[in-house]
Amino acid sequence: MKYHLRIEVCLKPGHSDPEGETTAHLLKELGYKVEKVNVSKVYTVVLNAESREEAKVKAEEMCKRLLANPTKDHYVITVDEK
């Protein structure tokens, strides 16, 4: 069965976010009253799995092995049936 995984990876609080800082700087230069910008990434993965539970377990593994850096990243996984 096909599952749609939505995996959002963002920095844990306290870690520097250079892309967010640059974006905040550019938005301020354009005249916007911006205090802070954080940038995170969303992976939408179409995965074949036997069950929703298996899909969730695989998504956790993918985060630990490839998509997130456990030292500095936090991730949120959502699983939907196609």
Does 23 bind its own copies (CB under 8 A)? Our answer is: yes
| 37-46 as b/e: b if 16+ CB within 10 A | beeeeebebe
- What tokens appear for 46 in the block? 């179409």
Contact 43, 7 (CB under 8 A): yes
Q: How many residues bind its own copies (CB under 8 A)?
A: 33
C-alpha span between 28 and 34 (Å, rounded)? 6
Using the minimum distance from each CB to its own copies, give the nearer residue, 58 or 79. 58
Q: Note whether 42 binds its own copies by CB under 8 A.
A: yes
Site string (53-72) toward its own copies, x via CB under 8 A = -----x--xx--xxx-----
Min separation Cβ 13 and its own copies, Å: 12
Residue 45 Cβ vs its own copies, minimum distance, rounded to whole Å? 5
